[in-house]
Amino acid sequence: AQSVTQLGSHVSVSEGALVLLRCNYSSSVPPYLFWYVQYPNQGLQLLLKYTSAATLVKGINGFEAEFKKSETSFHLTKPSAHMSDAAEYFCAVSPGGATNKLIFGTGTLLAVQP
Amino acid sequence: GAVVSQHPSWVICKSGTSVKIECRSLDFQATTMFWYRQFPKQSLMLMATSNEGSKATYEQGVEKDKFLINHASLTLSTLTVTSAHPEDSSFYICSARDPGVIDGYTFGSGTRLTVV
């Protein structure tokens, strides 16, 4: 079975500081991995995804993530936080294939302090 | 890019009534749609997978007679919460698979359901 674990339900950074949101996955098959952002009372917006191509994935809004098979990790980073980055972030895994469903982590709420 | 329209964005209903939520793919044909439920400050829990022209596949613990899913066309899936009760109050989000994109999932904007 596939699953993702997000370490840290709340992360607070200062504006301009590095953002690091952690995600570890468990999958019996090569996974597809995703990071989504959710603003209050809204749906999810895709930041980036890994689909077995380049291990370093660049996404929107300056975010990127690196797939590390040896560490079963897919951590999300951004060099310099903006106030507008404050939101809930979800890591998700899809086994691909016939099921095609996304399994979400518990989410990390990012707060950006001025 | 792919767009999924979800309506209504919020609804308040009386206990015992039914509520229908629509999810439409606007610029692509979605053979598969997913329905999620999200409690406050929690993650998204998959409720069911909706396949066009066939019965939905429900996740364990989800009452199929309470949460009716219909996927009658390639661009529309509906979720009907029947005989709603206050404990059904939640944020419901749909997602559609874009078959033209490798593992492309597009999410609707969500529906806030409050049962009073």
Question: How does pLDDT run across A37-82, given as a tens digit for each residue?
Answer: 999 888 899 999 998 778 999 999 999 999 999 999 999 999 999 9
What the block records as the tokens of A64 is: 């990127």
pLDDT tens track for B16-41: 999 999 999 998 888 889 999 998 87
Q: Which residues of chain A lie closer than 8 angstroms to B112, CB-CB?
A: 41
Q: Which residues contact B59 (CB under 8 A, 6 or more apart)?
A: B45, B46, B47, B48
How distant is the Cα of B39 from the closest Cα of chain A, in angstroms? Answer: 11
Give the mean pLDDT of chain A: 91
pLDDT for residue A99 is more than 70: no
Which phi and psi (to 5°) does residue B86 adopt? Answer: -55, -30
Handedness of CA B108, A5, B38, A114 (dihedral sign): negative
Per-residue pLDDT tens over the stretch A4-35:
999 999 999 999 999 999 999 998 777 889 99
CA distance linking residue A65 with residue B48, whole number of Å: 29
- Residue listed under structure tokens 């597009």: B106
A101: chain B residues, CB-CB within 8 Å: 34, 46, 49
Q: B-chain residues within 8 Å CB-CB of A44?
A: 44, 93, 95, 107
Residues contacting A55, CB < 8 A, separation 6+: A66, A67, A68
Is A45 at the interface with chain B, CB within 8 A? yes
Give the Cα separation of B80 and B83 in Å (integer): 9
Residues of chain B neighbouring A100 (CB-CB closer than 8 A) = 32, 49, 97, 103
Q: CB contact, 8 Å: A40 with chain B? A: no
Q: How far is CA B36 from CA A4, A33, A113, B98, B106, in A?
A: 17, 18, 31, 17, 13
The tally of CA atoms less than 13 A away on the side-chain side of residue A92 is: 27
Residue A11, both tokens: 């992360």
The answer to whether A103 faces chain B, any CB pair under 8 Å, is yes
Q: Indicate the pLDDT class of residue A97, thresholds 50, 70 and 90.
A: low
